[in-house]
Structure 1
Amino acid sequence: MKRLFISMLLLVLLFSPIPMSTEAASLPTVKITQATPVFFNSDKVAVFSKGATASITKESGKFYHTVIAGEDVKFSKQRAKTIKNSFGSFKGAYPVKAKTKGHVKIYSAPNGKGKEIGHIQPDLTIHMQREQKGFYPINFGGKTAYIQKKDIAVDPGIPVLMYHDLVQTKVGDNVSVLEVNKFAEQMAYLKKNGWTTISPRQMELWLKGKIKLPKKSVLITFDDGYDSTIDLAYPILKKHGLQATSFLITSRIDRPGMVSAENIAETADVFSYQNHTHAYHMFNSMTGLSYLQSESRFSIAADLEEANDHIEQIIGGGHKVTALAYPYGKYGPQTLLALHDTDISIAFTINEGNVHQGDNLLDLNRQRVHSDMTLKDFANKLNGM
């Protein structure tokens, strides 16, 4: 059965058409000539007002295709005319997930300064950028538009906080380095406000609908395996009775500045130690791709298995490694094939946003925590805002 699955997946990967990047290609822009309903499959999801414009991703029969709130949608060609070519943008960070309360008006600018350019139907799930003074930016036909905060209900999901290295005093502007006093403040906030820390395994079971989790659940993660997770983070987590996950680059264990095997064994009461590759946390200098994008399925699987084995031998006691954080948040089709050959069953990117039921277990969001964040910013991320 496994061979059949792999053969079928390989055929799909080999013969599926590769989508053209909408960032690099010149896209036609159309102007809406009359109020136009917009459809996702056969369901009406929005309306473009007369005079609105939209960038087109493709054409199919009688329809133009564009993007609204992260979804591919279509509308009639008869209600629009091409006006120019432009470099439309459909990519970007849209970390906020919400549901529309009613017919939600779409504006060309926030704060009452823009005109109404359409609306979205009631009870739809949409993705947006973070709030800006009572308005949420949304991708509406390839350009940024705005909806009012009062018109949507945010789905908080579960936050996966991403940390790397902690320091007493920060020097430089490396976003992966956080002052320990800020980390202590954030952990105290979690404890005071009733947040429950969970493991990757609990998140996996929740995503599969096999368990329920407390409303305020959070997964705390550290990448790379810096010794600051032991010297600085561990005592703070222990003090507040919080758990965390440490994604290890196992080839760096026992190196200066990194965790030791002894550290790992001694702190497994607080940290769930998981996979961040063995030696594949690097870029291919020939292609500019990460190793998890450029190497073969078999070599990736071998590297991940080596990392799993290393961690499991250090901790012992039947500990199983089942979670992976992709280096740089990047992976390719061959990585997914490799995961099928390992015990890894849940994997995390660095894409912004919380995790929601229905998300792909091998493509989960995280929320980066950085020095410029206020405690209010931290609280907003926890709540998916």
Structure 2
Amino acid sequence: MKKFILFFLLLLVAFPTFTEATEASTVKSIKITETTPVFDDYQKVAVFLKGTSHTVVNESNLFYHTFIGNDQVKLSKKKAVIIKDPPNNWKAAHPVRAKTSKPVQILDRPAVKANSIGHIQPNMTINVQRLKGNYYPVLIGGKTGYIHKNELLIEPGIPVLMYHDLVRSKTDQNASTLEIAKFKEQMDYLKANNWTTITPQQLESWVAKKGTLPKKSVLITFDDGYKSTIDLAYPILKNHGFQATSFLITSRIDRISTVSEQDIIQTQDVYSYQNHTHLFHMFNSFTNLSLLQYESELAIFEDIQTANETIEQIIGGDYQVMAHAYPYGKRSLAAIYALQSAGITSAYTIDEGNVFQGDSLFDLKRQRIHSNMNLKQFADKLQGR
């Protein structure tokens, strides 16, 4: 037996195995020395041109790894050299999902006479940023590239609109407080353009590829349970035949500025009432963390469960809370585990963007609706632009 083990060890020394182990690297930049194909795990997705520079996020024995849109890609180390200064000018804010139907040129600036820095293969899905002039910004190797709007097919996805408080007339600069006239204008637009309002249950089923939705579907959500969702929004929504979702902070029910138990009972023909925590809607400005980021999983579970039970007891019957909106959009792995343990099956962020099939059900994006937005900007958000 000892002789066998010794023989095996000698074989390992004589014939070492080679694996493509990927290691996280410090941020570095590379310059392409020869025009080179770029791959994801399965296929060629793009081409980087000779002389262009890109930021490396990881590297392995054979490849440098970087990003195109939100997707990590790789290229051969033989086609690039390390350079000193990382070209880090990318600023992500408003993701838009697009498809290519042909090879698409990536430009170094948004101009007709711009230089090409590479191209993306046909039939690729990429994440770009909201249209600026005639060009979509795109993350290409750690810096901003540009693609002309005529080169891409935009995939709209499903918009989830995020509202907070409504007022008859604005007296402050809070962008999340919307005048009722502007809200009505937006609802009129949805009605006139044949949009169908849906519930969190319907969206969840569609995201999980278990159900279908009308082509122009939209989920309307309100955070915090303001009284204005009853006094101002409800009549407009009901008149338009719309559904909406209200995420409640249940410890604040029955205050002067928030919904009452009676409001909840009487408005279920329009609203689906869901979870926005019980007592854990708090934020520490010194640490920049919410309670859902630093409390224990057990403490978060107990708070979420209390909010669920409060809503379910008010509504009665077999009503079951199934959706959650993260306070301030902040979350943690412990929070997700706690939500799942409490029976929550989908959760919404405040990250900008529309929702697509296959998205994580606990990381669903929304479109913020603010008071400075005009109707064209509202329409663009619906289309994921």
TM-score (norm. length: structure 2): 0.91
Specify the SS of the correspondent of 1:86.
Answer: coil
Structure 1 counterpart of 2:148, one-letter code: Q
Show the counterpart of 1:147. Answer: 147
Deviation (angstroms), 1:90: 6.3
Change (3 A) 1:87 1:144: closer
Structure 2 counterpart of 1:61, one-letter code: N
Show the counterpart of 1:185. Answer: 185
Within a 5 Å distance, the mapping from 1:92-241 to structure 2 comes to: 92-241=92-241
Deviation (angstroms), 1:317: 2.6
Deviation (angstroms), 1:36: 1.3
May I ask how many residue pairs the two structures share in their alignment?
363
Show the counterpart of 1:382. Answer: 382
Deviations 1:158-203 (A, max 9, x none): 1000000111111232121111111000000111111110000011
Change (3 A) 1:89 1:290: farther
1:341 and 1:54 mapped to 2: Cα distance?
43
Within a 5 Å distance, the mapping from 1:1-385 to structure 2 comes to: 27-86=27-86, 88=88, 92-284=92-284, 287-385=287-385
1:383 and 1:128 mapped to 2: Cα distance?
14
2:256 and 2:140 mapped to 1: Cα distance?
49
Show the counterpart of 2:7. Answer: none
8 Å CA contact 1:284, 1:294 repeated in 2: no
8 Å CA contact 1:67, 1:90 repeated in 2: no
Show the counterpart of 1:4. Answer: none
More off after superposition, 226-235 vs 27-36:
27-36
Structure 1 counterpart of 2:86, one-letter code: S
Deviation (angstroms), 1:82: 1.7
8 Å CA contact 1:27, 1:87 repeated in 2: no
- Runs of 4+ more than 6 Å apart: none
Structure 1 counterpart of 2:167, one-letter code: V
Structure 1 counterpart of 2:383, one-letter code: N
Deviation (angstroms), 1:240: 0.7
Structure 2 counterpart of 1:219, one-letter code: L
2:285 and 2:381 mapped to 1: Cα distance?
35
8 Å CA contact 2:87, 2:142 repeated in 1: no
Structure 2 counterpart of 1:212, one-letter code: T
Structure 1 counterpart of 2:265, one-letter code: A
Specify the SS of the correspondent of 1:146.
Answer: strand
8 Å CA contact 1:57, 1:65 repeated in 2: yes
Deviation (angstroms), 1:80: 1.3
Deviation (angstroms), 1:381: 0.9
8 Å CA contact 2:209, 2:358 repeated in 1: no
Deviation (angstroms), 1:133: 2.0
Task: Give the percent of matched residue pairs that are identical in Structure 1 and Structure 2.
Answer: 57
2:183 and 2:151 mapped to 1: Cα distance?
34
2:328 and 2:370 mapped to 1: Cα distance?
16
8 Å CA contact 1:298, 1:338 repeated in 2: yes
1:90 and 1:309 mapped to 2: Cα distance?
44
Structure 1 counterpart of 2:216, one-letter code: K
8 Å CA contact 1:97, 1:154 repeated in 2: yes
| Structure 2 unaligned spans of 5+ | 1-22
1:91 and 1:377 mapped to 2: Cα distance?
20
1:241 and 1:54 mapped to 2: Cα distance?
51
Deviations 1:225-270 (A, max 9, x none): 1111111111110111111000000111112211111111111111
Structure 2 counterpart of 1:33, one-letter code: T
Structure 2 counterpart of 1:313, one-letter code: Q
Structure 2 counterpart of 1:78, one-letter code: K
Deviations 1:290-310 (A, max 9, x none): 111111111111101100110
2:87 and 2:79 mapped to 1: Cα distance?
22
8 Å CA contact 1:27, 1:88 repeated in 2: no
